[in-house]
């Protein structure tokens, strides 16, 4: 089972009034690929890298864990439109739950077809017809439209056969529940052996995921490769002749299991820091496809 996630503008600010905020109200959506059911439609005027977790936990408590989750390079997921050396809190959230995150390449909305199809319907049949003007109006009218979409509106997807998704699929498959405890560093399993090209700084340090690792001043200016050794939770540094220069403990790990609640708090805190850094760099929220 795969979930597809994305945001949809339903109330936009007047661009002549403000250029700092592109979205007055957005809906955070999740669509089940197997059934086309619209499982999450949560409106907010303040989605950030931190605030996405609450809606997801509520959803996963209800439906259980999917096998995969797919989304685009929205900065609320990735901390910026580019990838970091190591997974962001949003990606670590999924890895810790045993769910495979899939990040679409830039400008490929076709790889998110189920949620994109939903958003086309939202634009034509909800936003342009009902013209919600505020968060309060959206919260009042959107649940009614979501019920209509799932239970009354014929869906032309192959799995629905021109029936509403909830009629074609009255029950979701049973899925694993949220665990009571998780390993926040489980992302390492997927990153084992990953390499990063770096140049040694004049002080002998190499920066990896904003952490400094000292390999020696005599290597200053040299190109090296940092390779993750996940089982030993180390970083190996190699030169261009494939000679091992140094082995260092991997920094930035939590180092112990956490309760699910404590882990979500950790994700929110780390995401808040990442989001402040993103905004502090002069970025503003813009649509990413």
Distances (CA, A) of 67 to 32, 96, 101, 219: 11, 13, 9, 44
pLDDT, one tens digit per residue, over 252-276 is 999 999 999 999 999 999 999 999 9
Q: State the Cα–Cα distance between residues 78 and 229, nearest whole angstrom.
A: 23
Q: Do 101 and 39 fall within a single domain?
A: yes
Please give the pLDDT value at position 284.
61
Q: Do 137 and 168 fall within a single domain?
A: yes
**Mean pLDDT throughout 34-43?**
96
Confidence at 198, pLDDT banded by 50, 70, 90: very high
Q: Do 161 and 240 fall within a single domain?
A: no
177: Cα separation from own chain's centroid: 20
Q: Do 155 and 237 fall within a single domain?
A: no
Q: Do 209 and 85 fall within a single domain?
A: no
Please give the pLDDT value at position 208.
94
Place of tokens 């739950």: 97
Domain that holds residue 225: 186-249
Looking at the domain assignment, is residue 230 inside a domain?
yes
Confidence at 277, pLDDT banded by 50, 70, 90: confident
Q: Do 149 and 205 fall within a single domain?
A: no
Total tally of structural domains belonging to the chain: 2
Q: State the Cα–Cα distance between residues 275 and 52, nearest whole angstrom.
A: 12
**Mean pLDDT throughout 21-29?**
80
Instruction: Report phi then psi at 44, rounded to 5.
Output: -160, 155
Confidence at 193, pLDDT banded by 50, 70, 90: very high
Looking at the domain assignment, is residue 287 inside a domain?
no
Alpha helices by DSSP H, the chain: 52-63, 75-78, 89-96, 113-121, 128-130, 135-151, 165-168, 188-191, 260-280
């Amino acid at each position: 089972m795969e979930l597809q996630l994305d945001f949809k503008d339903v109330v936009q600010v007047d661009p002549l009034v403000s250029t700092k905020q592109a979205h007055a109200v957005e809906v955070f959506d999740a669509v089940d690929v197997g059934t086309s059911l619209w499982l999450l439609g949560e409106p907010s005027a303040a989605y950030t890298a931190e605030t996405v977790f609450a809606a997801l936990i509520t959803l996963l408590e209800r439906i259980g864990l999917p096998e995969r989750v797919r989304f685009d390079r929205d900065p609320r997921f990735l901390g910026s439109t580019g990838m970091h050396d190591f997974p962001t809190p949003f990606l670590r959230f999924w890895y810790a739950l045993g769910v495979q995150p899939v990040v679409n390449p830039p400008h490929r909305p076709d790889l998110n077809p189920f949620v994109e199809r939903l958003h086309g319907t939202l634009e034509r049949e909800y936003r342009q017809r009902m013209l919600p003007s505020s968060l309060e109006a959206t919260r009042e009218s959107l649940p009614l439209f979501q019920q209509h979409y799932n239970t009354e509106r014929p869906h032309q997807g192959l799995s629905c056969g021109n029936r509403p998704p909830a009629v074609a699929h009255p029950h979701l498959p049973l899925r694993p529940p949220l665990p009571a405890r998780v390993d926040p560093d489980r992302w390492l399993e997927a990153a084992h052996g990953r390499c990063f090209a770096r140049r040694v700084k004049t002080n002998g340090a190499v920066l990896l995921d904003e952490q400094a690792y000292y390999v020696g001043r005599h290597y200053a200016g040299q190109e090296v490769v940092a390779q993750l050794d996940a089982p030993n939770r180390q970083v190996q540094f190699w030169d261009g002749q494939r000679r091992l220069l140094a082995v260092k403990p991997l920094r930035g790990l939590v180092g112990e299991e956490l309760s699910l609640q404590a882990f979500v708090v950790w994700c929110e805190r780390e995401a808040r820091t990442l989001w402040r850094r993103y905004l502090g760099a002069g970025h503003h929220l813009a649509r990413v496809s």
